[in-house]
Chain A
Amino acid sequence: DGGITQSPKYLFRKEGQNVTLSCEQNLNHDAMYWYRQDPGQGLRLIYYSQIVNDFQKGDIAEGYSVSREKKESFPLTVTSAQKNPTAFYLCASSITGQLRIWEHEQYFGPGTRLTVT
């Protein structure tokens, strides 16, 4: 079955440590996205990538970094510079380009809950 996997589901880290969240998709989608979700804030875009080896900052990129070396993978690193890293992180993917409507939605992974103490 095609889909998006995020691992692990729960992640615990000590303050000051960098941590990398995994996101893999086998949908052959060009675009991938990382969102952060906090209570009452909805989804806020961290980074997105429309093609391999290219990515753009979203609305809250500070303290995060990404790479896109392969089409199917878009890992997110939460660095020690991120002041409030504890949150729920969602990865998504979608097709881009001038295609039919039903191909423009985003497909989401199950999320990773990161707790930093």
Chain B
Amino acid sequence: AQTVTQSQPEMSVQEAETVTLSCTYDTSESDYYLFWYKQPPSRQMILVIRQEAYKQQNATENRFSVNFQKAAKSFSLKISDSQLGDAAMYFCAYRSRPLNRDDKIIFGKGTRLHILP
């Protein structure tokens, strides 16, 4: 079974600085998707960024980028120029390419990010 591990329960970063959130996963599959979700205090889950496993190029979305290391099964999220609105719980998630009825997303336990003014 696939697992997703976020080893940092909490992190803090100074406003305008850069922070990297770690995520590792375990799978025997070669084709899958990876996601980072953000959950602010409102508790609404928001997709931050996505990565398809067969693509070598790291995904970027404005100030958010990932470092995808397939061989190492690592998928870290880098937030540049941190802003107060980035304060949230961040979840790393894994999804197999849907091929059968067993189609679900596996979430890590989350990293709570604090932004220091």
Q: Which residue of B lies closest to A97 (CB)?
A: B98
Does chain A have a CB within 8 A of B91?
yes
Would A111 and B50 be within 8 Å (CB), given that A45-B104, A48-B104, A104-B33 are in contact? no
Task: Point out the residues of chain A lying under 8 angstroms from B45, CB to CB.
Answer: 90, 92, 106, 108
Residues of B within 8 A of A (CB): 9, 33, 35, 42-45, 47, 50, 52, 91, 95, 97-98, 101-105, 107-110
Q: Interface on chain B toward A: helix, strand, loop, or mixed SS?
A: loop
- Contact call A50/B101, Cβ cutoff below 8 A: yes
Picked from B9, B35, B98, the residue with its CB within 8 Å of the CB of A96 is B98
Give the residue name and chain of the B residue nearest to A54 (CB): B101
Specify which of A40, A41, A50, A101 is in contact with B52 (CB 8 Å cutoff).
A101
Q: Mark A88-117, 1 if CB is under 8 A from B, else 0.
A: 101010001110011011101011000000
A98 touching B98 by the CB < 8 A rule? yes
